[in-house]
Amino acid sequence: KMERHNLSISGGSEKITFFAGGSYQKEDGNYAGMSQQKYSFRSGFNTQIIDGLKADVAFNVNNTKTNSQNSLSDDRDQNFYQTLITTPQWVPIQINGLPVNFSNISANSNTNPLAIINSGYYQKQNNSNYSINASLNYAPEYFKGFSARVQISHSGTSSSAQEYRPQYTLYDFVRTGNNALLYTEDVNTTFTMAGSNSRISPSLGKGSSYQGNVVLQYSNNFGNHAVNLMVGAEQSASNSEGLAVYWTNQQLLNLDEYWAFDQSSFTNGGRTINEAVKRSFFGRFNYDYKKKYLLEVITRVDASSNFAKGNIWGVFPTVATGWVVSDEDFFKDLNYISYLKLRANYGLVGEDRVSARLWQDRFSVDLVNTGYLYGETPVASLNPTIIANPDISWEKHRTFNFGIESRWFDNKLSFGFEYYLRNSYDVFDKGNDENFPMYAGFKAPVVNYQKRKGWGTEFSLGYQNTFSNGLKLSTNMNFGYSASYTTQMYFNKFQLWDFSYPDWKVEMGTDSRKYNSSNYGLIYVDMLRTQQDVDNFLAKNPNYTIDGKVPQVGWTVYEDTNGDGKITEKDLTTMFDNTSPVFSTGITVGLAYKSFSLNTNFRAVFGGKVFYESQAMTAPTDKVNVPSFWEDHWSLENPDGRFPRYDDAAMMKKWNSTFWAKDGTTIRINNMVFNWAVPKTFTDKINVRSLKLMLSGNNLWTIVAPFKHRDPYSSSLYNYPTIRTISFGLNFGI
């Protein structure tokens, strides 16, 4: 459940206004002992100091506290959830209050969820942040069209966390029955979980940043001409620091203090320090003639501390043009087109999205016996972690865009189109590490080498109208197509002979719609449903094996793509020419009638390919549950089953194949919001100034989906499912 409370006040005069408000939110999780509390406060004021000079100040502070009796990390939470849903119902979670040892149930389990929650385990997180924003805006009356703004902001964060992982005992029980699957109440052995791996792990973090800018702007009209000039400068800086430590091997049970653990086990879990500075000068010039011919020129000069002297600065210009065709005299007769605009731009964009200070050598201290030898004595040493590249500089992207904006039939119908082309060069490339011998002891430096190309189209369609009965309808649809490929990269030429993914790492000049990790697999031929099918197949392919095994009834067989007579990972190939959807779109629909309104959002994907995840391909056993679709597997009683035998050789290797591909068509209602403003005739009767009702829902309904065993927006059936939420709101003024 979730509860939220808000309180705010505001007021002021003609010269100064202010506001202040706070909120509190508490939300309980779906597991026992999981909760989150959020506190926030915000305030601010704006004032007119003198004519034309205004000041704005805003302050925000937030604090979030999270408590959980199971791990908050994604991978361990997935194992926790997986254990809950894959443990068969005949396996009790506890017997006479004693937690059952699940380590013999599944390799993914190694734990008992109830035992973890009851053991005293916890993970706590406390995160706080604040921000201050202040600005001065000056627009003098005597200088029409001129304005100046000075703005500065400062923010800070602090965090603390602690994980307490105590020892606890699980119990093996004597089992009976023909398959020894039925549990008795007799304890066989005990098993201590955590043991020497028990841990207490505190961590602290802090960070701060600031940003300041000065902007001067002038705009004016000269007859049919309009100009706007803006210049400015900006600087930002950020720093953060974090420290995590832990102690293991709990000595005093049931005590969540560091001194209750083996003091000699003190370990530095991580020490991080990050600093970054950016400085920019920028300018923008806009010109239009009769609001019909448009020109915009933008130039940025940026500096980043991620690069060494000589490469710090980058210059990135962009030119954009526009033409409102519908304002031309020759266009006036086309009454059915209300508005038509053509636009294009060409420019250079720079990015510094690379780890900080790669131009500086970095070392780590090796205090264990893997350092250098003096005689026969190992000693502490410095090991290189970063090999400096002083020449590293900005990653660059040349971009071209062409677009159309239009409205038709008295602005009821709208249509938009955009084509973009992106040529990237000096892209940060780590691939040369493939050419370094393992005995080098370090990785190759990051260099500006890779080149890429990308292009795509985007479309938008909209319709809005008010009908004679007062009903208002508005709808919009967006869709597009895109592709990209790499034209230059570092690679190891000695890997070119190997055409199986992922060893085949050279994908230069290939279309990402075909050459992607999901599209590598085997080409499915048939399923051997009878022994006669097996005999006939082996008569034609006498030496055929799958992972070294001779095909059996109920198995799937595949195309021998490399022609060596056997199915191995060398037969993995691109399965489809294109795995991308034929058409995908987001659709919004809004309806309004008098005091009622309804807004909803759809997501629709048609075509393309999606694949069963490897976890779903896991064979069921008498100890592990699997998705219900496995009920339709091949067996003597069900020879026409959709899925192969549990011990299918290709499936046991988790090889992807066209067999595990499905049509990707998905239609889903993401959210819906209904509002009703209660008529004034009713609110007057109950002495209320206004009354509004709201009903909203998220993740409401999946109409069509490729799979039933998992959420279509989730990559694994063991990810915690997306929650459906229904909210009701009441807002009234007195």
What are the structure tokens assigned to 183, written together? 């549990």
Quote the number of domains for the chain: 1
pLDDT over threshold 60, residue 144: yes
**Could you list the residue range(s) of the whole structural domain that residue 210 is in?**
1-281
Is there a domain that residue 270 lies in?
A: yes
290 conformational bin, left if phi > 0, alpha if psi -120 to 50, beta if neither: left
d(CA 134, CA 45): 10
Q: What is the pLDDT of residue 374?
A: 64
Is there a domain that residue 31 lies in?
A: yes
Is there a domain that residue 247 lies in?
A: yes
Q: Which residue has the higher pLDDT, 532 or 486?
A: 532
pLDDT over threshold 70, residue 498: no
Is there a domain that residue 366 lies in?
A: no
Is there a domain that residue 328 lies in?
A: no
Is there a domain that residue 500 lies in?
A: no
CA distances from 644 to 346, 530, 629, 656 (A): 54, 12, 12, 14
Tens digits of residue pLDDT in 194-240: 666 799 999 999 999 999 999 999 999 999 999 999 999 999 999 99
Q: What is the pLDDT of residue 504?
A: 46
Beta-carbon contacts of 303 under 8 Å, excluding residues fewer than 6 positions away, are 278, 279, 280, 312, 313, 314
| Complete DSSP assignment for 545-592 | -BTTB---TT-EEE--TTSSSSBSGGG-EE--S--S-SEEEEEEEEEE
Is there a domain that residue 687 lies in?
A: no
Q: What is the reported pTM?
A: 0.80
Q: What is the pLDDT of residue 268?
A: 85
Average pLDDT over residues 658-673: 94
pLDDT band with cut points at 50, 70 and 90 for residue 329: confident
**Candidate ranges 407-421, 677-691, 702-716; pick with highest mean pLDDT:** 407-421
Q: Which residue has the higher pLDDT, 102 or 614?
A: 614
Beta bridge partners of 223: none
Is there a domain that residue 154 lies in?
A: yes
Average pLDDT, the chain: 88
- Using a 10 angstrom Cβ sphere, with 0-12 exposed, 13-18 middle and 19 or more buried, the burial of residue 301 is middle
Q: What is the pLDDT of residue 3?
A: 84
